[in-house]
Amino acid sequence: MCGIVGWMNYEENLSYQTKIIDLMNKQHAERGPDSEGTWIGKHVALGHRRLSVMDPENGLQPMVKQFGNQQMVVTYNGELYNMAELRTELETLGYRFTTQCDTELLPAAYQEWGVDAPKRMNGIFAFAIWDELKQELYIARDRIGVKPLFYAHVKDTFVFGSEIKSLLQHPDIRPVIDEQGLAEVLMMGPARTPGEGVFRDIKELKPGHWLKISRQGIQIHPYWQLVSRPHEDDFETTITKVTELFESSVRRQLISDVPIGTMLSGGLDSSAISAVAAKVFREEDRGPLTTFSIDYQDNDQFFEQNEFQPNADSPWAQLMAEFLQSDHHVVYLNNQELIDYIPRALIARDFPGMADIDSSLMLFSREIKKDLTVCLSGECADEVFGGYPWFHREEMVQADIFPWARLTHERIPFIRKDVQNKIQPKEYVEMRYQQALEEVPRCDQDTPKEERMKELFYMNLTRWMPTLLDRKDRMSMAYGLEVRVPFCDHHLVEYVWNIPWEMKAHNGREKGLLRHALKGILPDEIIERKKSPYPKTHHPLYLQTMQKKVKELLLDKQAPIWDFLDHRVVQRFVRQDLQQKHLPWFGQLMNVPALLAYWLQFNQWLVHFQVQWR
């Protein structure tokens, strides 16, 4: 994986303005530690930082390709899993290639199929192509949104980049937030509305979309979206197809010219990926699969069950490692380092995030990177197959709000009254919820129950899942680790989308269909294990430290956070005898320590990015 940036202005000669594009490109140094490059024309400048995965000796970018009198320049972040098939198809059409990397295929595909080129691609990607002859810039993003891409258009300036911090290096792009951006951070965070970049002038290119800018203006169009249709396969056929699609996805994603392995928690999803990967490794005589799991200092002493985390991962990961005979590594995190890395995680993510959940993944990625360059992860099976409690509890199913945000209203009292009046927090969340409902692809033959379940799945796939994918990308790429997500294969997502809820919840279990499909692939104990999410620390030191840090922040009445949060309300709250399990939760799966850490990150974000409130 890599980092990409670009700057375009039809009214200005950029030929000698190297400093700005270099500054933008520098922000992605961690994403691309292996090489860097820029290409500058009269009206466009492109930058690239490379993490070499395929054909490390070649594939330097930005890459220039000539087709007759037509010159195209590409900067690309991603991986095409159907590279071999796409290459063969293009060669049949007369194109010739000089490297073994997938970058070279992109300008040829664009030359041949134009704006529809991404429809031919199976992979995770964000790329830009400059057509020198037509003086047009084309950018596109993968269907599910695994790879990030943001842009801003201010007057005559158009900029884009893998991360928002790169855009903010351009003098025309300022870190200004308005009412909408503040509502995103205070009420939707750490999730984010698709297409929103929080800062006033910054937008996200939505997953499955392309953008083209020419002298006639900007066009933005979807090239992929979910389609609802009747599911005609019986249960056994459905199981067969799900198994085939899943195994095909894992096989495709094991292509690499650098060391590759898997994250293994001992849960259903990562175990399934690891099992198929280990099988492929045996078939191809690639040696034992390398697997990694994570645990916390003194977790055996302090772990406490809750509805979202019913059991610890460690024994299950060990069981699977022995079953696979993998080269297994356990990464133990100490709580002080976990806390110390929270500010780094914020900077990597560009927004307040999941605090210790982010910093732990960053540290986990740091350790994995010592042995691997590419890692497969079980992310997104819950969104695709229905693994969360809110899919299975009737009161959550019927709640007229994002299911993970049912308790977000508990945050409102902490917001200053004057700020509440400006951002209308409750109404903002309701408005975003209604927007999501309006987007849901409908099928006339669906029952009311099926229709409601599709609404929940759509919100999870388009609102919650991007939060997890963004987190995974930022925390792993902070150490130059490429993470692939087989459950996000668009063929699998498309097929499972239309499977009726009764099949998905086979035997009344979360991910019941997937569990049944994995029989014979996984040990029965793993198949029957109750879902447990990515682990977090239960050590009392974490809550104590967060409470102490917020108390210290309360002493600094000039801290920018107090322009937005009510100092007295926060003070009363922090002085309580806070408990790890304190309820109610505060939306987005935030318990007390997570909320305290989010406030700390919010203040750090305001300071680090010099955020200006309009």
Check the annotation: does 294 bind a ligand: yes
- Domain edge (last residue) among 499, 528, 557: 528
Nearest to 461 by CA among 569, 382, 568, 524: 382
Residue 382 DSSP class: H
Q: What letter would DSSP give residue 187?
A: I
Separation CA 77–CA 160 (nearest Å): 13
**Cα separation of 63 and 58, whole Å?**
10
Shared domain for 179 and 245, answered yes or no, is: no
Take residue 216 and report the two structure tokens written for it: 């006639």
Backbone dihedral angles phi then psi of residue 305, each to the nearest 5 degrees: -70, 150
Q: Does the residue 88 lie in any domain?
A: yes
How many separate domains does the chain show?
A: 2
Whether residue 61 contacts residue 48, with contact meaning beta carbons closer than 8 Å, is answered with yes
Beta carbons within 8 Å of 92's beta carbon, 6+ residues apart? none
Residue 364 DSSP SS3: helix
Comparing C-alpha atoms, which of 207, 162, 163, 199 is closest to residue 182? Answer: 199
From 57-71, 322-336, 475-489, the region with the lowest mean pLDDT: 57-71
Closest CA to 522 of 233, 243, 237: 243
Give 313's pLDDT tier (boundaries 50, 70, 90). confident
- DSSP codes of every residue in 317-345: HHHHHHHHT-EEEEEEE-HHHHHHTHHHH
Edge-to-edge strand ranges of the sheet holding 150-154 = 35-40, 44-50, 2-8, 157-161, 150-154, 202-204
Query: Which domain covers residue 311, as residue numbers?
Result: 235-528
Residue type, 535: P
Buried b (16+ CB within 10 A) or exposed e, 79-90: bbbbbeebbebb
pLDDT digits (tens, 9 = 90+) for 488-523: 999 999 999 999 999 999 999 999 999 999 999 999
Among candidate residues 201, 222, 243, the one where a domain is terminated: 222
85 in a structural domain: yes
Other C-beta atoms within 10 Å of 290: how many? 21
Q: CA 447 to CA 124: how far, in whole Å?
A: 34
Regarding whether 275 and 202 lie in a shared domain, the answer is no
Measure Cα distances from 157 to 11, 141, 171, 230, 480 in Å: 9, 21, 10, 46, 30
The last residue of one of the domains, among 528, 546, 563, is 528
Task: Supply the CATH number for residue 133's domain.
Answer: 3.60.20.10
Same domain, 68 and 195: yes
DSSP string for residues in 224-287: -----------HHHHHHHHHHHHHHHHHHTT--SS-EEEE--SSHHHHHHHHHHHHHHHHTT--
Q: Is 377 flagged in the annotation as binding?
A: yes
147 and 253 share a domain? no
**Interstrand relation of 327-333 and 290-296 (parallel, antiparallel or unpaired):** parallel
Q: What is the pTM of this model?
A: 0.96
pLDDT tens digit string along 133-191?
A: 999 999 999 999 999 999 999 999 999 999 999 999 999 999 999 999 999 999 998 88
What CATH number corresponds to the domain at position 332? Answer: 3.40.50.620
Show which residues are catalytic. Answer: 2
Dist CA 236 CA 233 (whole Å): 8
50 shares its domain with 187? yes
Residues shown for the chain: 614
- Amino acid identity of 204? E
- Specify whether 174 is located in the same domain as 248: no
Confidence of residue 584 (pLDDT cuts 50, 70, 90): very low
Q: What is the pLDDT of residues 231-259, one digit of tens each?
A: 999 999 999 999 999 999 999 999 998 99
Regarding whether 273 and 195 lie in a shared domain, the answer is: no
In the chain, the amino acid numbered 529 is R
Note whether 507 and 402 are same-domain residues. yes
- Give the pLDDT score at 308: 63
Q: Is 138 helix (H, G, I), strand (E, B) or coil?
A: strand
| Segment 381-435, tens digit of pLDDT | 999 999 998 999 999 999 999 988 888 888 999 999 999 999 999 999 999 999 9
590 assigned to some structural domain = no
* CA–CA distance, 18 with 13 (Å, rounded to integer): 11
| pLDDT tens digits for range 73-116 | 999 999 999 999 999 999 999 999 999 999 999 999 999 999 99
- Give the model's pLDDT for residue 583: 44
Using CA atoms, how far apart are residues 521 and 472, in angstroms rounded to an integer?
A: 26
The residue type found at 105 is L
- Specify the pairing of strand 157-161 against strand 2-8: antiparallel
- Distances 27 to 126, 156, 243, 354, 513 between C-alpha atoms, Å: 17, 23, 41, 22, 43
As separate numbers, helices (DSSP H) first and strands (DSSP E) second, the chain gives 25, 19
List pLDDT tens digits, range 337-396. 999 999 999 999 999 999 899 999 999 999 999 999 999 999 999 999 999 989 999 999
